Structure 1
């Protein structure tokens, strides 16, 4: 197995054509090293504008190796990046921020901005959550939305920090609705909107997925016997021209369970019904253990059973900064044309 230095140099070499294209299109947020596929399992190196975010998920990275990595990236990119190292290999890494390996500078941990597809995004190396505020592997999907949103009513489900909504607004959508359960995520989405003041305003709805999507789809909201449901926003039944469904792998609430492995259909069915007759639904599944073809068949079968057969189904793979040796990347994206 190659050393980390050798693996990193090979990864940077392979990305040169991609980075040139990304820089030309106004993008300075991308993955520089995808360790599980490039020789150092559990290690990722991402650029977010002026910040270099290094994260280890299996074992801690030694300080000398971290600093050598930082120096090499700076030399190759011709930048003086601000280093943030998140060691996520320990069980309490979400709350333990003692940073025994490397203390990031205050400037590196300040509110920064990065860019993708010519748009500006909020960047924080550390925040109340643990994941970066922009998931880089969804960049191609955001680009597709930006290129196909003109005049459309767009619904961004599980919106997180609303990057898809921002791209829809930039692409000329006549309406953009972002739905997420966490107000903190939507707050960053509002920041992203404010960082791009030339764009039309977006809508933000804080709600559990199930009551919101089932109201839009015209379906009843189930209630377990003897259990009173929490309050939720009341919404009118309606459809959207372009819907993006990018759920987490698993989550549970009083309204239902998100389970991409065992019950994708409970998420998919109402999303299909909330998509216009001639609309587009982009659906994602980020579970590595789910095979693309099996999932694709499941999705198409669900649509057919609803009387909404798919006219065209396109697979949209992640960009080349997320290589997959077996051709089966964890993130799978389907573009369904009804």
Structure 2
């Protein structure tokens, strides 16, 4: 835990959301269980192993001391989240959490829910992917698969997209996505489809072809998507959905599956797609083994 406490002692404040400590990357031996995120004005400490009260108290003392130095007179707000299988919990440890809770990233605003479930509404490790899309969205028709709360759609429209089609099985997540669009005063150029992707190809095709497609699925979600058997079904559809010279981002956040997993599936199911680059992850998410971290692969249709 000492590496985490060392980072806490050097915290500086940022208006944007950010990962402050990423123990899971393996660069801090002995602190692999910990991550610390800033969702202004709330800190979120996450542990992937059981934690005792003494450890939480030690963290609180360190955070409170640093907070008084960088934000004197401002209440300290922090939340603890346990990600231990079978013992998952989220606990408010100090202060309060705004409701609604609106955070910012690279000029965009998003609603997050720190006290509900394990996912907060914005995946911080995808920041570079969002920036890439914003820079490649101008005048494009964009398909956002597994849209979740539609952060990709927000930045695409900020980047001048002609249209964004957001598709996700979760109506609740899409409802937050619609709130995010209103929050950013975006033009009414987004569609929100709460459907099973594998049963919606006809509708998806009719709204195409697409200049950019983003595929950011869960790696394993029973009844929805299992990467090892379902990803290739998506890849097989891409040549027919993409415009000539169209782009696709294939995203995968599964430590047990490396980049070659996606490369092999593209070679088999969509050989007309050419690999362009793997997007870098945010510096804060550095990993001793990059193949165990988030993979975001950029491909382009050849013809």
2:57 to 56, 59, 64: 64
| CA displacement, residues 99-151 of structure 1 (integer Å, 9 cap, x when unaligned) | 4xx5454x315321111110111122112x32111000111000000111000
| Cα distance in 2 for residues equivalent to 1:317 and 1:195 | 28
1:60: how far off?
1.9
| Cα distance in 1 for residues equivalent to 2:60 and 2:270 | 51
The answer to whether the aligner puts 1:91 opposite 2:55 as a matched pair is: no
| Cα distance in 1 for residues equivalent to 2:69 and 2:189 | 38
2:250 to 260, 278, 283: 283
1:115 to 97, 104, 108: 104
The answer to whether the aligner puts 1:202 opposite 2:190 as a matched pair is: yes
- Specify every segment of 5 or more residues in structure 1 that has no aligned partner in the other structure, as ranges: 218-235
Partner of 1:54: 45
Question: How many residue pairs were aligned?
Answer: 294
- Verify the 8 A CA contact 2:5 2:59 in the aligned structure 1: no
Rate the CA distance shift 1:326–1:302 in 2: closer, same or farther, 3 A: same
Give the match's secondary structure for 1:110: coil
The answer to whether the aligner puts 1:5 opposite 2:8 as a matched pair is: no
Partner of 2:219: 249
1:70: how far off?
2.5
The answer to whether the aligner puts 1:124 opposite 2:119 as a matched pair is: no
Partner of 1:317: 280
Normalising by structure 2, we get a TM-score of 0.86
Partner of 1:239: 209
| Cα distance in 1 for residues equivalent to 2:135 and 2:292 | 24
Give the match's secondary structure for 2:60: helix
Rate the CA distance shift 1:103–1:49 in 2: closer, same or farther, 3 A: closer
The answer to whether the aligner puts 1:295 opposite 2:258 as a matched pair is: no
Rate the CA distance shift 1:139–1:272 in 2: closer, same or farther, 3 A: farther
- Verify the 8 A CA contact 1:125 1:132 in the aligned structure 2: yes
Partner of 1:141: 129
- Specify every segment of 5 or more residues in structure 2 that has no aligned partner in the other structure, as ranges: none
1:166: how far off?
0.3
- Verify the 8 A CA contact 1:272 1:281 in the aligned structure 2: no
| Cα distance in 2 for residues equivalent to 1:73 and 1:32 | 14
Partner of 1:228: none
1:12: how far off?
7.6
RMSD: 2.6
Rate the CA distance shift 1:277–1:49 in 2: closer, same or farther, 3 A: same
| Cα distance in 2 for residues equivalent to 1:331 and 1:140 | 11
Normalising by structure 1, we get a TM-score of 0.78
The answer to whether the aligner puts 1:173 opposite 2:161 as a matched pair is: yes
Partner of 1:82: 77
Partner of 2:145: 157
| Cα distance in 1 for residues equivalent to 2:9 and 2:283 | 12
- Verify the 8 A CA contact 2:43 2:79 in the aligned structure 1: yes
Name which structure has the greater RCO, CA cutoff 8 Å, separation 6+: 2
- Verify the 8 A CA contact 2:277 2:298 in the aligned structure 1: yes
- Verify the 8 A CA contact 2:83 2:118 in the aligned structure 1: no
1:199: how far off?
4.5
| Cα distance in 2 for residues equivalent to 1:113 and 1:165 | 17
